[in-house]
Structure 1
Amino acid sequence: MLLHMSTWLVAFVFGSLILVTQGRVLWSKTPATHGFKNEEGYILKTAYPLGNGRLGIMPFGHPGSEKLVLNIDSLWSGGPFEASNYTGGNPLENKHDALSRIRSTIFESGTTSDMSDFVGNGNNYGSYRVLGNLTVSIDGIETFTGNQIFKIAVFCSHPDSACFYHVEASGGLPPISISFENQLVPQDLIRPGCDNNSVSIIGVTQTGPPEGLKYEATARVLGSSDAEATCSEAGTLRLVPAAQQTSIEFVIAAGTNYDQTKGNSEHNYTFRGTDPHAIVDKTANAVLAKDYTRILHSHMLDFASLVSKFTLSLPDSLNSSGIETAHLISGYKVDGPGDSFLEALLFDFARYLLISSSRTGSLPANLQGRWTEELKPEWRSDYHANINLQMNYWVADQTGLQAAQGPLFDYMRLNWTPRGRETANLLYNSTGWVTHNEMNIFGHSGMKSDPKWANYPVAPAWMMQHVWDYFDYTQDVTWLTEVGYPLMKGVATFWVSQLQEDAFTNDGTLVAIPCNSPEQGPTTFGCAHYQQAIHALLVNVMGAALITKDTDTLFSDKVRLALAKMDKGLHVASWGGVKEWKMPESLGFDTQNKHRHLSHLTGWYPGYSIASYLRGYTDSGIQAAINKTLIARGNGTASDADAGWAKIWRSACWARLNNTDEAYFHLRYAIDRNFAGNGLSMYKGVQPPFQIDANLGLGGAILSMLVVDLPRAYTNGSSNDVARTVVLGPAIPRSWRGGSVRGLLLRGGGSVDFSWDNEGLVTQATLRSGQAKYQMVNKKGESVGYGVH
């Protein structure tokens, strides 16, 4: 079982995933197994995931009777397919009259405990869910030993929008049986099928009314085959190959009748598209006549076109390449020297997982990317936008994975915005649009539960950082004009209408009210996290307005006024750290704690309200406050959680402080504490559930150790006329000695290659492209490159 992580995804062989590049491979001697979630047999602790954005597959089981867990991005329960009156969590009538009461209470006492008029519900919210298993049984294979050589390869192709299963045998193929199943759902809701060259499964999430979401999958024999085929009543296809036949392939296609473009008032928010049979049939038939070698070659070229844009080269000083992946990970200890081979392998894996779970035409990567084996995974495997969704895309901008971000922007534009306009009106009496913390694929934009978790209208403001960053790295003005700026302007319109003059401190600043710092503390005003996210949004939208030549001066004047007056969310507590809430410490909420979230540091990392727009990266006083905050927050393992993403976030924050030791410690701690033998990160230490944000975020944390490339405010429609200072290698550990980077993208449209010495100090940098001017310096401030090409 092998998974080479580099230039191409080659295949999945006998329960292992194979990727090829620089000798970095995920591999196992034993197949993935199925068992209870708290055991090593949990599929998501042992299987290697495959995907093409829309489809996800996890092969597991004995090679003589292998199963492929099949997922499709849009297979969800709930929403309008479960209740025809589904409102996306919005109330049926205006609730914004309660705002003045809530705000008055907060400004009088500092907090409120009554948000009852605002709290929505999670009725019919639904869940991402598994489609089922495809079983492939090969007669005569009972052990791993024998005289005949079998080769099995599995991959999911984005160009062909399908997955493929290839098996070949040195002495001719024995009989093979394939079938679909899903034992988790009521059997009256699914219908397995079989004909002389394919098997299928057709299902619906409920009988209705309303009729549930329809889904369908098929596995068909690819090309011409001389095999004798028979179907059983249970839906199993048995193939007896001809004596001379040495290989056979199956194409696997799937679809649902979900349509993201139908999630608006024009279509009554139905999200209901056409029956999936036609598209599944068309997808499968389109490849039936193709040569398998050409299909594989096309897949490899597509994958290579993305991963080859960026290369991280680290030494294999411990000779780890020949050690089984699970053994590498189990032997990796936070108090050890680290393992640059494994760290680079997990970085490659982060990029691979994003490519495999987020491509053009798919939904964005959810809490489990594209892979679940359950009907109701933890947190519904939805979209949490108070760090998790953001972290999923940390690795994209700087490593050339812009193609993986399209689904994220489409999702915000088509799924969040239409219902979000209703939410803005019904709850806040505002134009523009807004959503809250938890989102499904059915336009859920209202508050879902208790304010501690759900009072989070700042989610879109934070997500607009991804919109602006996409432009800042690509300099694609057409995209900004057509896609990015309309999204940003809608969110900014909402927030300039909501900021209120601080009537508690009477300092003349504008604050967000009511607000909650994600998942802890009181409902109050001026939460640091809100102020920082909104500050960055307003700075960026002003730049976007200039670049796109927006003539709406009324909007620009409102933004400019709000920026001048708003509290920027940076206050220092008596103990020296950054305050999470603006209210006085005497109210008891700004004591030091080890909570998993670093919400009041989002303007430091992954954002830049503090680091750049308030010049915090070069301000020793701000750096000292960040340092004390991170020390107080601890290592990411406390009574509230033991999640990998919390440790990864800490690593990235320390890296931006140029603190190599702490950044590397927290990176190692996350790998040691949370990563299972197949490289996937678990949420409760090394125990399930699997949650993909730490895997994807690890790529961002390593990038933050490699570069500090902060944005600058656009004040005249361009920021490319003055040289940008880029710090290369702010926190490179010595164990990465003699490494290098190729193809790191820079803000302003540039690209740089660089290398470092045995002490982790960057000594050489070559600017490859870019519209902007750059001043390249290492962590000592020494110039290592300057120019514009």
Structure 2
Amino acid sequence: MKNDELKNEGLKLWYKQPAKKWTEALPIGNGCLGAMVFGKIKGELIQLNEDTLWSGGPADYNNYEASQHLKEVRKLIFAGSINKANAIISEKMLGKFMQAYQPLGDLEIDDLNHGKIQDYYRDLNLHQAISSVKYIQNNTRFSRKFFATAVDHAIILHFSTESDMQTEKYHQSYGLINLRCRLKSPHISKTSIIKGSNSSTNELQMKGKLPEFVDCYGRAGKRIDYTENKGMKWETRLIVLNTNGTCIWDKKSEGVEENALIIQNASELTLALVAASSFNGFDHDPNQNGKDTSFFIEKRITQLRKKTYEKVLADHIKDYSQLFMRVELNLGRTKAASLPTDKRIKRLKRRFPLVLYYVNCFFSKLFKKQANRLGSLFEKSSDDFDDPQLIALYFQYGRYLMISSSRKGTQPANLQGIWNKKVRPPWASNYTININTEMNYWPVLSCNLSECHEPLLRLIKELSVNGQETAKIHYNCKGWCAHHNTTLWRNSTPADRNPVYAFWPLGGAWLSLNLWNHYEYTLDKDYLRDFAYPLLKEASRFCLDWLVEDAHGHLVTCPSTSPENMYLDATNDIQSVYYGSTCDLAIIRELLGYTIKATEILSIDKEFREELTESLEKIHPYQIGKYGQLQEWIEDFKEREPGHRHFSHLIALHPGTQITPRSTPDLADACRNSLLRRIAYGGGATGWSCAWKINMFSRLKDAPNTYNSICTLLRNSTYPNLFDAHPPFQIDGNFGGTAGIAEMLVQSHNNCIKFLPALPSELKDGYIKGLCIRGNAEVDIYWNDAKLERVTIRPKIGGIFQFWGVNNFTIGPYKNTEDQVNIKETDGMMQVILKKNIQYEFIRKA
């Protein structure tokens, strides 16, 4: 097999049987439309999503009495009356339920042919974003291709046949395409046939509406309420783009369950599915002030009908490839790479991984010694791991999912990306902004997909509108804030019931770090001035008002929680509320520091900069606890769950940049101890939590534990279709894993670029091309025998770059001896000025 063919084969998920479960189906998407392709012959199922389909609508969720209790709660907390403070917060200062992301429905395709199926094969080609199914029936090769085109805003289904008349095996009969297509939805809906000029221009239409309210948490009897004149409207249509067969439109009648499209005796068929909702912005009622779904659908159908299938396909591949093909990763290949994807995952699985996790989580108090022993066993995931190409495939799959679920103008990727089959999805398939949404977008900049960042940046701007009201009404604060969850409606208020997750007003501040990160990677000053800085400034304003002085004159947050975690107080009561959680203070440090830098770059707001600087210096310092760990709270409390899944107190290590092995070695060691302690008690076992470990160990330059965490993620938290298993499916683990692999190969924070900072010896030979670093440059990195061999760097904007650990290298323009580079070396750092659009190469010194 040639090298190019090997690369193409290596970037496929493939299987020898149809999917039986949703987590075996293959995802396609264009940022707005998503589909899960099962690859069935009899009863093919294409499960459908549209990214704006959410229950409910805009509403004022603010709690107008919350601010009345803030002063009393702070007084109680500082006095140590935590139970009383917790009771007031729970009863008086929380908010309401959040709405839920909804499925659109299903496209069911029944094969009307009869005959034995042979040589079945299905795949997902990451190079082209096409899912294919191939099989032989009635001596005929049948082929199906499915893809979601962002250019034409549609899901395309192409069916073809090929009869091999040259061999005796296939010459006896000739098969043709005979299908029945139906649209179904779990929501109130109606299907109908829209007549065109002839049968091939008819359209199968399904229209419906979404619930006004969906109870995903069992707090209101698991209600799903459809209310007249409320709830989002939606529409989808299935059309025939071209066929040489006969189209029969089977109308709903006596003996016929529903309207359907029947195709008879075709050797080729192309269908297109388009969909739209009445969503008209986060602040408009989608029922009363929504968009006309038919107008948008008809516009898209008109565009599609002007094109051939070949043109639609070529436009799709061109659009997708210009994003995906920017990065190439080669980690080597073993015999395991020739196996079907599900077999590759199955052979890695350990016995009872979740049993170990839950034993560690819930019985660590009873079995402390066993918890440590089981945690150690659970973590030995790198033993006998012999499939490095699977790591490369997983990395690129994360990039594929990003392109498929987050494109300019669409909604950001939620907890499930855009793929959800349930009316009551896990955690309402919300934007959970106390880690999960942030993790979704960790790979977007380093992995050369900055355009895919736009939906999240737009969400932040929209969220700040409601967040300004919440800051004022709930806390009498200026600026804007948000709590742990938000939705399509950009809710900024706390959720209900329990402060352990609901009371955390730093969600907006954490999200805002994305604004600065985008600038660091692009150096787009217009973006910083016009878009990012106003949002950073107002998020910082909230933090300035939210901070209060403790008894020692340090600035802290109060009330404060460490997302979803709890501690034991002096009387062994379980608590979540206190003051000055390490998580809060780390986020605020990051935010204020970035905002200060923005004012300096833009030469504005000097007085505000001075106020930020003064407050930054007064924030309570980090502390190291009795186990040598970074303390999660101001006091070195006993942990209620030592193996907790969240690592919120380590935000300053990653994704933050305040703690590094080089600049703060003691705190970095404390972070390592925190990680290892959590792991010993079963922590980091859920998919996204494990992905976070990869990133943190990479920041600590701990190659063995970085690799072990990658192997753990693949062994214990990966479904057959490579979706991340929390469980259930959450997409954040996929994105976090991709980001962690990139972090293992290059880091560029704190104005210091480091190549191969955490490269494990097991991946001793390889290369990666096209990763991005801060300062707006691309890099290609080659290594051999676990040592850096060669690097090329392509600055898109010229400037000063500093490299660490390249003392044995010099740097010069690639194939250009005229333009020399002046090198300044100090304290192990190489500092150079590189020019725009010139490719430079690191060359090992003789």
After TM superposition, the score normalised by the length of structure 2 is 0.81
- Decide whether the 8 Å contact of 1:103 with 1:514 is kept in 2: yes
Q: Deviations over 1:430-466 (max 9, x none)?
A: 1211110011111211111211011111111111221
Residue 60 of structure 1: how far off its partner (Å)? 1.6
Partner of 1:194: 193
- Decide whether the 8 Å contact of 2:747 with 2:773 is kept in 1: no
Partner of 1:425: 472
Is 1:567 the counterpart of 2:606? The answer is: no
- Name the SS of the counterpart of 1:683 in structure 2: coil
Q: Deviations over 1:128-160 (max 9, x none)?
A: 111111112232155423301111000001111
- Name the SS of the counterpart of 2:140 in structure 1: coil
More displaced 10-residue stretch of structure 1: 443-452 or 217-226: 217-226
Partner of 2:248: 229
- Inter-CA distance 484–630: structure 2 relative to 1 (3 Å threshold): same
The equivalent position to 2:678 in structure 1, one of 633, 652, 670, is 633
- Inter-CA distance 781–371: structure 2 relative to 1 (3 Å threshold): farther
Partner of 1:481: 529
The equivalent position to 2:611 in structure 1, one of 558, 572, 583, is 558
- Name the SS of the counterpart of 1:97 in structure 2: helix
Distance in 2 between residues matched to 1:152 and 1:426, nearest whole Å: 55
The equivalent position to 2:268 in structure 1, one of 235, 239, 247, is 247
- Decide whether the 8 Å contact of 1:511 with 1:526 is kept in 2: yes
- Inter-CA distance 55–635: structure 2 relative to 1 (3 Å threshold): farther
Distance in 1 between residues matched to 2:715 and 2:471, nearest whole Å: 43
- Decide whether the 8 Å contact of 2:232 with 2:287 is kept in 1: no
- Name the SS of the counterpart of 1:417 in structure 2: helix
Residue 555 of structure 1: how far off its partner (Å)? 2.7
Distance in 2 between residues matched to 1:238 and 1:518, nearest whole Å: 50
Distance in 1 between residues matched to 2:408 and 2:534, nearest whole Å: 20
Is 1:597 the counterpart of 2:646? The answer is: yes
Distance in 1 between residues matched to 2:419 and 2:476, nearest whole Å: 39
- Decide whether the 8 Å contact of 2:86 with 2:499 is kept in 1: no
Distance in 1 between residues matched to 2:458 and 2:393, nearest whole Å: 30
- Decide whether the 8 Å contact of 2:768 with 2:782 is kept in 1: yes
- Name the SS of the counterpart of 1:96 in structure 2: helix
More displaced 10-residue stretch of structure 1: 59-68 or 288-297: 59-68
In structure 2, stretches of 5+ residues that fail to align are: 119-136, 163-173, 212-225, 350-380, 567-575, 812-829, 836-846
Partner of 1:297: 314
- Name the SS of the counterpart of 2:177 in structure 1: coil
- Decide whether the 8 Å contact of 2:57 with 2:231 is kept in 1: no
- Decide whether the 8 Å contact of 2:691 with 2:713 is kept in 1: yes
Residue 219 of structure 1: how far off its partner (Å)? 0.8
- Inter-CA distance 642–218: structure 2 relative to 1 (3 Å threshold): same
More displaced 10-residue stretch of structure 1: 529-538 or 730-739: 730-739
Is 1:180 the counterpart of 2:191? The answer is: no
Residue 229 of structure 1: how far off its partner (Å)? 2.4
Matches within 5 A, 1:10-409: 21=8, 23-33=10-20, 41=21, 43=22, 45-60=23-38, 62-80=40-58, 86-87=59-60, 89-91=61-63, 93-109=64-80, 111=82, 112-114=85-87, 115-116=89-90, 118-123=92-97, 125-145=98-118, 146=137, 147-170=139-162, 171=174, 173-182=176-185, 184-185=186-187, 189-195=188-194, 196=199, 197-206=202-211, 208-223=227-242, 227-233=246-252, 234-241=257-264, 245-260=266-281, 262-263=282-283, 272-316=289-333, 318-332=334-348, 334=381, 335-409=383-457
Residue 94 of structure 1: how far off its partner (Å)? 4.5
Is 1:710 the counterpart of 2:758? The answer is: no
Distance in 2 between residues matched to 1:603 and 1:388, nearest whole Å: 17
- Inter-CA distance 635–474: structure 2 relative to 1 (3 Å threshold): farther
Residue 594 of structure 1: how far off its partner (Å)? 1.5
Is 1:543 the counterpart of 2:597? The answer is: yes
**Percentage of pairs with the same residue:** 28
Residue 486 of structure 1: how far off its partner (Å)? 1.6
- Decide whether the 8 Å contact of 1:777 with 1:783 is kept in 2: no
Residue 695 of structure 1: how far off its partner (Å)? 0.9
- Decide whether the 8 Å contact of 1:338 with 1:668 is kept in 2: no
- Decide whether the 8 Å contact of 2:330 with 2:389 is kept in 1: no
- Inter-CA distance 697–680: structure 2 relative to 1 (3 Å threshold): same
- Inter-CA distance 338–481: structure 2 relative to 1 (3 Å threshold): farther
The equivalent position to 1:691 in structure 2, one of 723, 730, 743, is 730
Partner of 1:744: 771
Partner of 2:632: 580
Distance in 1 between residues matched to 2:808 and 2:803, nearest whole Å: 8
Is 1:607 the counterpart of 2:656? The answer is: yes
- Decide whether the 8 Å contact of 2:243 with 2:268 is kept in 1: no
Distance in 1 between residues matched to 2:65 and 2:27, nearest whole Å: 45
Partner of 1:36: none
- Name the SS of the counterpart of 2:752 in structure 1: strand
Partner of 2:369: none
- Inter-CA distance 272–554: structure 2 relative to 1 (3 Å threshold): farther
Partner of 1:771: 798
- Inter-CA distance 144–25: structure 2 relative to 1 (3 Å threshold): same
- Decide whether the 8 Å contact of 1:709 with 1:747 is kept in 2: yes
What count of residue pairs does the alignment treat as equivalent? 713
- Decide whether the 8 Å contact of 1:532 with 1:610 is kept in 2: no
Larger Rg: 2
More displaced 10-residue stretch of structure 1: 442-451 or 228-237: 228-237
- Name the SS of the counterpart of 2:726 in structure 1: strand
More displaced 10-residue stretch of structure 1: 522-531 or 590-599: 590-599
The equivalent position to 2:788 in structure 1, one of 762, 769, 782, is 762
- Decide whether the 8 Å contact of 1:223 with 1:289 is kept in 2: no
Matches within 5 A, 1:413-492: 413-414=461-462, 416-449=463-496, 450-492=498-540
- Inter-CA distance 370–592: structure 2 relative to 1 (3 Å threshold): closer
After TM superposition, the score normalised by the length of structure 1 is 0.86
Q: Deviations over 1:512-531 (max 9, x none)?
A: 11110010122111110110
Distance in 2 between residues matched to 1:610 and 1:642, nearest whole Å: 24
- Decide whether the 8 Å contact of 1:776 with 1:784 is kept in 2: no
- Inter-CA distance 238–627: structure 2 relative to 1 (3 Å threshold): closer
Q: Which amino acid aligns with 1:673?
A: N
- Inter-CA distance 331–268: structure 2 relative to 1 (3 Å threshold): closer
Partner of 1:38: none
Residue 735 of structure 1: how far off its partner (Å)? 2.5
Q: Deviations over 1:2-46 (max 9, x none)?
A: xxxx999xxxxxxxxxx973632110111112xxxxxxx3x1x21
- Inter-CA distance 481–270: structure 2 relative to 1 (3 Å threshold): farther
- Inter-CA distance 407–699: structure 2 relative to 1 (3 Å threshold): same
Q: Which amino acid aligns with 2:726?
A: Y
Q: Which amino acid aligns with 1:511?
A: V
- Decide whether the 8 Å contact of 1:346 with 1:679 is kept in 2: yes
Residue 240 of structure 1: how far off its partner (Å)? 4.3
- Decide whether the 8 Å contact of 1:706 with 1:728 is kept in 2: yes
Distance in 2 between residues matched to 1:560 and 1:117, nearest whole Å: 36
- Decide whether the 8 Å contact of 1:258 with 1:271 is kept in 2: no
Partner of 1:501: 549
Distance in 2 between residues matched to 1:593 and 1:237, nearest whole Å: 56
Residue 771 of structure 1: how far off its partner (Å)? 2.4
Q: Deviations over 1:628-677 (max 9, x none)?
A: 11111116845xx8411111111221111111111111111111111111
Residue 781 of structure 1: how far off its partner (Å)? 6.7
Residue 737 of structure 1: how far off its partner (Å)? 2.2
